[in-house]
Structure 1
Amino acid sequence: MTGPVKRRYDTSRRAEQARENRRRILTAASGLFREKGYAGTAMPEVAKTAGVSVQTVYKAFANKATLLKAVFDVTVAGDDEDVPIADRDFIAAIQAEPSAARKIEMYFAHLAGVGPAVFPVQLLARDAAAADPAAAEVWAQMRAETLTAMTYFSADLLDTGEVRAGLSAEDVRDVLWTYHGPEQYELLCQERGWSPQRYGEFLRAAVTAAVLD
């Protein structure tokens, strides 16, 4: 009877070790990407910083672009739990809110809060895409995921009945997608020195004026 118990224990222990290695790799990669950029970060350096072998890094992440995408996903979520963004509490709170204006306010307040961590990672992928086909695929995936999220947000706003007459779901989605882009953060916060709070308020006001009566 001890054999099966030991195997279950060993499997659980290996799984926990793999998860811990993944966390350490993501933490190391996040710091190095922000410090040295995408091109300046090498996988062996990530391994050394994380305290694991290079083989362990490649076992968890097929290439550097895949690692960048994983860093982005964890940064957006705030953790490495296997819970989709659509199922997170802040999305549920927005969906439960009956007012379209309040939904927009809540969403862009959240975006302003996570933006300083999230947008620099997106911008790394955008800039790397010109020279690295794998990074270009990751950048395209980031854009597509944002478009999908804004499609759902658009439908949620339309369900309130408060969207300006004449605007289609696609119109609202495209406005949301445009203002959600990292380019706005780059221009206003990184280049012009706006605070994240001022940036978030600007997005709230702009989107509200664009889509609501």
Structure 2
Amino acid sequence: MADPVKRRYDTSRRREQARENRRRILAAASGLFREKGYAATSMPEVAKAAGVAVQTVYKAFANKATLLKAVFDVTVAGDDEDVPIAGREFIAEIQAEPDAARKITLYFAHLASVAPAVSPVQLLARDAAAADPAAAEVWAQMRAETLTAMTYFASDLMLTGQVRPGLTDTDVRDVLWTYHGPEQYELLCLERGWPPARYGEFLRDAVITAILD
């Protein structure tokens, strides 16, 4: 009969090895996607860069599009911990703030801080979607998740009583969703060379003007 202590130890080691492999794969994929683009990056290249077998990559991520989505999720969160964005500290700070303008300021300051890492991954997915059906599904999922997040943010802003009269939750959500899009970062930062802080301030001012009384 196997020693139960040894079995638990072996299981724990396997889980930790799987987590480490996942971290290495995500780091390798992120670098390759940014350097070469989505279409030019292959799963065997990711495996080689991560120092694992290609079968290990496919075991962790069913296909390249799934891997791209995982890279995006980790980039947004800043880590690979199993904590949803809604449970993150910066969201709690925004929710606790009673003033609508301050909520918007906090949110877009955070967005500007992560945009240099996050927006290029979103743009990779958007561009890949034109030629890869699996990437198109991932891009649609990214957009849907953003819309859901902005739905919650809009509701939070409506509760302050400071939103311009006549605007509905849907109106506020759509304004937030539009300014949240990576296209704004692409135009202002990548094409026009704005620093991220200025980009964040522009979004903040535009949203405050558009939705607050």
What per-residue deviation string (whole Å, max 9, x for no partner) do you get for residues 172-204 of structure 1? Answer: 000000000000000000000000000000000
Task: Determine the structure 2 residue equivalent to 1:75.
Answer: 75
The one-letter code of the counterpart of 1:212 is: L
Task: Determine the structure 2 residue equivalent to 1:61.
Answer: 61
How far apart, CA to CA, are the structure 1 residues paired with 2:149 and 2:206?
19
Q: SS in structure 1 opposite 2:80?
A: coil
Structure 2 counterparts to residues 1-213 of structure 1, below 5 A? 3-213=3-213
Task: Figure out how many residues of one structure are paired with residues of the other and give that number.
Answer: 213
The one-letter code of the counterpart of 1:111 is: L
How far apart, CA to CA, are the structure 2 residues paired with 1:2 and 1:160?
61
How far apart, CA to CA, are the structure 2 residues paired with 1:83 and 1:2?
35
How far apart, CA to CA, are the structure 2 residues paired with 1:152 and 1:5?
46
Q: SS in structure 2 opposite 1:175?
A: helix
How far apart, CA to CA, are the structure 1 residues paired with 2:148 and 2:178?
13
The one-letter code of the counterpart of 2:41 is: T
- Structure 2 spans left out of the alignment, 5+ residues: none
Q: SS in structure 2 opposite 1:81?
A: coil
- Structure 1 spans left out of the alignment, 5+ residues: none
How far apart, CA to CA, are the structure 2 residues paired with 1:145 and 1:124?
17
Root mean square deviation of aligned Cα: 0.8
What per-residue deviation string (whole Å, max 9, x for no partner) do you get for residues 93-143 of structure 1? Answer: 000000000000000000000000000000000000010000000000000
The one-letter code of the counterpart of 1:83 is: V
How far apart, CA to CA, are the structure 1 residues paired with 2:21 and 2:2?
28
C-alpha deviation, 1:40, in angstroms: 0.8
The one-letter code of the counterpart of 1:204 is: R
The one-letter code of the counterpart of 1:116 is: P
- Percent sequence identity over matched residues? 85
How far apart, CA to CA, are the structure 1 residues paired with 2:43 and 2:102?
44
Which contiguous aligned blocks of 4+ residues in structure 1 show a shift greater than 2 angstroms?
none
What per-residue deviation string (whole Å, max 9, x for no partner) do you get for residues 44-76 of structure 1? Answer: 000000000000000000000000000000000
Q: SS in structure 1 opposite 2:3?
A: helix
The one-letter code of the counterpart of 1:143 is: R
How far apart, CA to CA, are the structure 1 residues paired with 2:127 and 2:84?
26
TM-score by length of 1: 0.99
How far apart, CA to CA, are the structure 1 residues paired with 2:65 and 2:112?
25
How far apart, CA to CA, are the structure 2 residues paired with 1:197 and 1:3?
57
How far apart, CA to CA, are the structure 2 residues paired with 1:198 and 1:41?
33
